[in-house]
Chain A
């Protein structure tokens, strides 16, 4: 296993494109957090007044995840699909005949790299976003200031966002093992993530149906971990159960990928 991990690590770090994309995960998370904070204006209505709910500032400055997940997806898909174009996979499997081991090593290396960069990005977004919000006049009166970084709810949202990006990486790895082509896998994962999310926003439907769609779709359910204000998140599902829905998709994809890798000609 150590040899396999080392091999996959070398493959990952020796491609400059992958480095840049991983850097983009951190940069986009932190940059989008600061940029979104710049566009916010503190509410002018009296606190607790009718129709005057304080914005969920934590979820807002973590909304870089909508963008950063595309970079995550690109990294994870490339880790697998670069084996097929050209077909280096034959060499890889000759050197490391345990197919499950290859899959596991790629999953560990790819996910770990994404988790590390996502952690940096989320930390950057929280710190930068908080500074910008304070400078924009979001002060502590009436719960309108950004929540303290030590607040357990903020930590949950931050850690949840890191895990969310890690799970998107697992999902993308699985899809890439299934589809092999880079563009097809990236397109399929992007469609799975954004398709139901956009559809629930775009198509008018009864609340019951919309909530069912949101609870069942990986992006809406997974991102509900960012919400600190009840009822204002992307899905009505609870934060950790939402992340579990995404984990379900990710495990199913990787499992199918493993089955196909073991059964199929490479």
Chain B
């Protein structure tokens, strides 16, 4: 081992002993953990959600004709408008045209690939995730059993799934459907106030090469070949929020090409994207306590340096370990490691404790996926937030070196990290987003796990901004400490 690493190790050990023996360090670390966990739990306790819509979404434009007995419906979807990620267009077998009737459907969505729904939309089978029009779909019935198929070229077919007990009558309605759900849009109603609104969308899809062959003789067709358009009307849901009025469907037919438009949705909460629009970031909310836990971290980081200046221990420290850069490096290592460890405990405990509380308050399946602590997304948020606290501690240490006086350093950091973001938040939307992107608090974005409308910056970019500030401050601290008298 080289002498420089030995002396760095010795300096780290010395700093560790100093930090450990000071009561305020333990108090600050304990306060960090307590604040983060307490606020995480309170946030989970206070947040409630419930799905207010109908138990089954079943309203869309349906182009159909009766099909007796075992039937196979095939169609090529040559185009689908991207009216919503969960817009749906595909094939359906259905016992009647009333909303809420038993049905089996196979559909293509712009954002979520091929899906198959059965049992009143409570059961969902997933097909190819990256499928996009033009694409082939096929539903074949055999007794009470219905099988869905998908194909990119109409020749090689892949099975999506089989639904054994569909509850379809002997003569079902078979055909094509188009639905497009309401989308939630968010806008700022003022500083700190995000307001959501629902907007109806209209989906559009083009089908051709449509065949519906029955094993039994097809009943005499009315009109040309019996295809007719029906708006399947959504049965009313519980009182309260009602779906936005949607435009009725249209059918435009040239030869064997059907152009269908329609609004509405199919599925049930958690199936087919129902109720999953504009979700809250449940992972980030369990970690929101770091915004207050920050106070203790600032105090710890600043005091690690300024207490040496106040009591003049710094002279002894420099006499024992004359290399000033090494002393600061050792302090940085010790402070960062201590705060990171405490932050990791705080964030992990806060997440694990908040999870069952959130679940009790409605943030659970089917609408919200609850992720375990080892889920990569959760790990990024939890470990990243601990790293955020460690970076804040390093920034505070550096400011402590530069300013040298405890009160001045604490007030400066508090102004930058807490008060300026607060003033921006209460006064102007633009200023709030700007502060969230360009000042050190951007690092708090690392706890986000969902792209939400109100997020100012992405998780890694945010942490990067904070890291850059910390690096500059530490650089200045090293430079100043070397040049100044102790």
Scan A65-83; emit 1 where CB is below 8 A from any B CB, else 0: 0110010011001100000
Q: In chain A, residues 239-259, which have Cβ atoms closer than 8 Å to a Cβ of chain B?
A: none
Q: A55 on the interface (CB 8 Å rule)?
A: yes
Cβ B292 vs Cβ A198 within 8 A: yes
Among A63, A190, A197, A198, point to the contact of B291 (Cβ < 8 A): A198
Cβ A39 vs Cβ B422 within 8 A: no
Known A-B contacts A51-B195, A70-B411, A203-B39; A194 and B47 likewise in contact (beta carbons under 8 Å): no
Q: How far is A182 from B302 in the complex, measured between Cα atoms in Å?
A: 14
Q: B419 on the interface (CB 8 Å rule)?
A: yes
Cβ A198 vs Cβ B427 within 8 A: no
Instruction: Provide the residues of chain B in CB contact with A51, threshold 8 Å.
Output: 189, 195
Q: In chain B, residues 419-437, which have Cβ atoms closer than 8 Å to a Cβ of chain A?
A: 419-420, 422-423, 425-428, 430-431
Cβ B410 vs Cβ A186 within 8 A: yes
Q: How far is A180 from B443 in the complex, measured between Cα atoms in Å?
A: 35
Identity of the chain A residue whose Cβ is nearest the Cβ of B424 in the assembled complex:
A39
Q: B190 on the interface (CB 8 Å rule)?
A: yes
Q: In chain B, residues 283-328, which have Cβ atoms closer than 8 Å to a Cβ of chain A?
A: 288, 291-292, 295, 299, 303
Q: How far is A74 from B414 in the complex, measured between Cα atoms in Å?
A: 12
Instruction: Provide the residues of chain B in CB contact with A77, threshold 8 Å.
Output: 407
Cβ A199 vs Cβ B292 within 8 A: yes
Instruction: Provide the residues of chain A in CB contact with B39, threshold 8 Å.
Output: 199, 202-203
Q: How far is A41 from B431 in the complex, measured between Cα atoms in Å?
A: 11
Q: A13 on the interface (CB 8 Å rule)?
A: no
Cβ B411 vs Cβ A186 within 8 A: yes
Cβ A187 vs Cβ B423 within 8 A: no
Instruction: Provide the residues of chain A in CB contact with B46, threshold 8 Å.
Output: 203-206
Known A-B contacts A63-B423, A63-B427, A191-B295; A70 and B414 likewise in contact (beta carbons under 8 Å): yes
Distance of B198 from chain A, by nearest CB (Å): 15
Distance of A125 from chain B, by nearest CB (Å): 12
Q: Say whether chain A's binding surface is mostly helix, strand, loop, or mixed.
A: helix
Q: B43 on the interface (CB 8 Å rule)?
A: yes
Q: In chain B, residues 400-414, which have Cβ atoms closer than 8 Å to a Cβ of chain A?
A: 406-408, 410-411, 414
Among B292, B303, B419, B430, point to the contact of A66 (Cβ < 8 A): B419
Q: B209 on the interface (CB 8 Å rule)?
A: no
Distance of B30 from chain A, by nearest CB (Å): 16
B299, B411, B418, B419, most chain A CB atoms within 10 A: B411
Q: In chain A, residues 29-81, which have Cβ atoms closer than 8 Å to a Cβ of chain B?
A: 32, 36, 39-41, 51, 53, 55, 60, 63-64, 66-67, 70, 73-74, 77-78
Cβ A66 vs Cβ B426 within 8 A: yes
Q: How far is A205 from B189 in the complex, measured between Cα atoms in Å?
A: 21
Among A66, A182, A202, A206, point to the contact of B43 (Cβ < 8 A): A202
A73, A194, A206, most chain B CB atoms within 10 A: A194
Known A-B contacts A40-B428, A67-B423, A70-B414; A203 and B407 likewise in contact (beta carbons under 8 Å): no
Instruction: Provide the residues of chain B in CB contact with A78, threshold 8 Å.
Output: 407
Q: B415 on the interface (CB 8 Å rule)?
A: yes
Task: Report 11 cross-chain contacts, Cβ distance below 8 Å, ordered by A residue.
Answer: A39-B431, A55-B190, A60-B427, A63-B423, A63-B427, A66-B419, A198-B422, A199-B292, A202-B291, A203-B39, A206-B46
Contacts A66-B423, A187-B295, A195-B292 known; 12 new A-B pairs at CB < 8 A: A32-B423, A39-B430, A63-B427, A70-B414, A78-B407, A182-B406, A186-B407, A190-B414, A191-B295, A194-B418, A198-B418, A202-B39
Which A residues form the contact surface with B (CB < 8 A)?
32, 36, 39-41, 51, 53, 55, 60, 63-64, 66-67, 70, 73-74, 77-78, 182-183, 186-187, 190-191, 194-195, 197-199, 201-206
